[in-house]
């Protein structure tokens, strides 16, 4: 079955760039009409949507992070990636990658939901 | 941004109880509302999408209702494995946003 898995450094120094990759396995990342998203969760807190990318390269970012954020896709590797610059302790969180899907029923297109999640990876920002 | 409010932040219930988890949007979102279940140390799991559609493989004791600004997740008969935190999420407009979660605890 299709799976997604995050990878990247677990420790990043303040002011540096956080880089994570999500690898899609079990199917082509380009198959179907999916958006691929990053979501994070600080310890003991709620979920924050970071941004999304379509396999065409089209992106949407959370305005709260937009100035520091880049999400890219490499279809040849079946991966998409996150880069968050100038990190601070406030960026410490579990980072999830997830697949965004939409119903195929008439009138329901655009009602996006996250149907597939990675296990998450903890990124700590500390010197 | 659309604010999603989940109150209470926690509730206590017993096995077999009917449990309702409310969620309110700061503006109308039609039925662009999803529900997730999260257990400690695990990724969220999709339960309900488009306000009332049950995700494949999710037990039928879970149901969703509502439209506009007020939504409800209902668990018809709480099971031991249902003790978890539940999040609502809107996909009406970017940035997509989540509620702060409601933790369902054992009474």
Identify the pLDDT of residue B40.
96
- Tell me which of B95, B101, B103 to substitute to probe the interface with A (most A C-beta atoms closer than 10 Å): B95
| pLDDT tens readout for residues A108-121 | 888 999 999 999 99
| Mean pLDDT estimate for chain A | 96
pLDDT in 10s for each residue of chain B, 107 residues: 999 999 999 999 999 999 999 999 999 999 999 999 999 999 999 999 999 999 999 999 999 999 999 999 999 999 999 999 999 999 999 999 999 999 999 88
Three-state SS at A62: coil
DSSP B24-61: EESS--TT-EEEEEE-TTS--EEEEETTTEEPTTS-TT
- Model confidence band, residue A32 (pLDDT cutoffs 50, 70, 90): confident
pLDDT value of residue B16: 97
| B95, B98, B101: residue with CB nearest A63 | B95
What is the spatial distance between Cα A87 and Cα A12, in angstroms, rounded to a whole number?
8
What pLDDT score was predicted for residue A110? Answer: 87
User: In the structure, what pLDDT confidence band is assigned to residue A106 with cuts at 50, 70 and 90?
Assistant: confident
Give, as one character, the DSSP assignment of residue A31. S
Percent of chain A whose pLDDT exceeds 90 = 91
A5, closest residue in chain B (CA to CA): B43
Query: Which chain B positions have a beta carbon within 8 Å of A46's beta carbon?
Result: 87, 98-101
Q: Which residue of B has its CA nearest to A118?
A: B43
Q: How confident is the model at residue A104 (pLDDT cuts 50, 70, 90)?
A: confident
The alpha carbon dihedral of A59, A5, B88, B57 has a sign of: positive
**pLDDT at site B4:** 98
* Whole-angstrom distance, CA of residue A52 vs CA of residue A62: 9
């Amino acid at each position: 079955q299709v799976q997604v898995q995050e990878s990247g450094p677990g420790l990043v120094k303040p002011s540096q760039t956080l880089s994570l990759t999500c690898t899609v396995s079990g199917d082509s990342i380009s198959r179907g009409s999916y958006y691929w998203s990053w979501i994070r969760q600080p310890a003991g807190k709620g979920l924050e949507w970071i941004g999304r990318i379509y396999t065409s390269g089209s992106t949407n970012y959370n305005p709260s992070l937009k100035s520091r954020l880049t999400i890219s896709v490499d279809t040849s590797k079946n991966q998409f990636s996150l880069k968050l610059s100038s990190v601070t302790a406030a960026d410490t969180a579990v980072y999830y990658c997830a697949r965004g899907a939409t119903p195929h029923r008439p009138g329901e297109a655009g009602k996006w939901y996250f149907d597939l999640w990675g296990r998450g990876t903890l990124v700590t920002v500390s010197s | 941004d659309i604010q999603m409010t989940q109150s209470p932040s926690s509730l206590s219930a017993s096995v077999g109880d009917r449990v309702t988890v409310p969620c309110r949007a700061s503006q109308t979102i039609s039925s662009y509302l999803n529900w997730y279940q999260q257990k400690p140390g695990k990724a969220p799991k999709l339960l309900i999408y488009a306000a009332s559609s049950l995700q494949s493989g999710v037990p039928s004791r879970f149901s969703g209702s509502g439209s506009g600004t007020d939504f409800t997740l209902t668990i018809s008969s709480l099971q031991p494995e249902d003790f978890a935190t539940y999040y609502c999420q809107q996909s009406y407009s970017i940035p997509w946003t989540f509620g702060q979660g409601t933790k369902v605890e054992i009474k």
